[in-house]
Amino acid sequence: MAQSNIDPSLPLVDLHRHLEGSMRLETILELAQDHGIPLPAVEPEALRPYVQAVIPQPGLMAFIEKIDLSVSVLADLDACRRIAYECIEDAAAEGLDYIEVRFSPRYMAGPNRLNAADVVAAVADGTEAAVREFDIRANLIGILSRTYGIEACWEEFDALAAHHSHITAMDIAGDEAAWPAELFTEHFRRGRDLGWHITAHAGEAAGPKSIWIALQQLGATRIGHGLRAIEDPALMDLIAEEGIGVEVSLTSNVQISAVAEYADHPIATYAARGMKVTLNTDDPAVSGITLPHGYRVAAPAAGLTREQIRRIQRNGLDVAFLSDEERAALRAEKS
């Protein structure tokens, strides 16, 4: 049953994948060696527990610490370009037809004091090179890392805006509980003015109010994770009625201990209420998964029927940040 959960007549898309959480283990080791950056281990299997959630983590920030170590090896712009290229290459190898990769230029720049705007250019260059070489389409989503505070997010916004034609959408991520979304409404107003689509991490480490704010004040048309929407029936109804996309990442939600196991995830409830849920990887290298794993293993374990899983695959294309013409082209390629 597993592989047949993926409908070959429909495009397979991932709308929520972090570049920084997609770094190959071998690349982390090679970059560290090339630039003399110390790591806690120098053999792949010994390093794995430091950069991969091999056991559930006590919370979101503990999960992010795994990514912190990976990002520490981004010593120059060539490294940033390389991991973007490899991220797209890996997505194509998984059988994806379209992917939206999100990244925080300030987060990537920070450990080795790179210029954040130059990081954006390097990521765009690596992405475009891979798209040309592999049979896949891709778009980039720029993240504001709220963990650094309001002023730092303005600097990050400016770095993204300097190359705004390469960015399709804007997101906010990081410590959701400590830095509520209403602090960043002006950032997102300016992002909308640039023509960017808006998505937002919300309802992952904070309650339904965080999702309401993302929708009403940030202008989000998609929500990253949205786990806590289950606590507010009126919010679930609104999300369903407005066709708001919900970017679900089943495995990482278990790994940050937001839910104890797949069966406890609210995705089946969301699907039954008509919400446009999608399946995504989040941080596939940290989680040790691919997108097909979500369809084959995680989705059935979360209580979704085969028909619901097929509908979720269709939802991915419906809520992707694509024009109607681009959507039609992707459908035509699969027919």
Question: CA 72: distance to chain centroid?
Answer: 19
To the query of whether residue 204 is one of the catalytic residues in this protein, the response is yes
Angle subtended at Cα 253 by Cα 248 and Cα 255, rounded to the nearest 5 degrees = 145
How far are the Cα atoms of 34, 80, 293 from residue 75, in angstroms, in the given order?
9, 8, 32
Distance CA 319, CA 48 (A): 34
Rounded to a whole number of angstroms, the distance between the first and last alpha carbons of the chain is: 22
Helix axes 116-133, 77-93, angle to 10 degrees: 30
Rounded Cα distance, 165 and 320, in Å: 18
Rounded CA separation 308/305 (Å): 5
Place of tokens 């992002």: 191
CB-based contacts of 175, cutoff 8 Å, min separation 6: 60, 61, 146, 147, 205
Could you say which of 20, 86, 204, 247 is catalytic? 204
Query: In 25-149, where does DSSP find H-type helix?
Result: 25-35, 44-51, 60-71, 77-93, 105-109, 116-133
282 secondary structure, DSSP code: B
d(CA 183, CA 10): 39
Q: Residue 18: which of 100, 118, 138 has the closest Cα?
A: 100
In DSSP terms, 122 is beta-bridged to none
Residues with catalytic function: 204
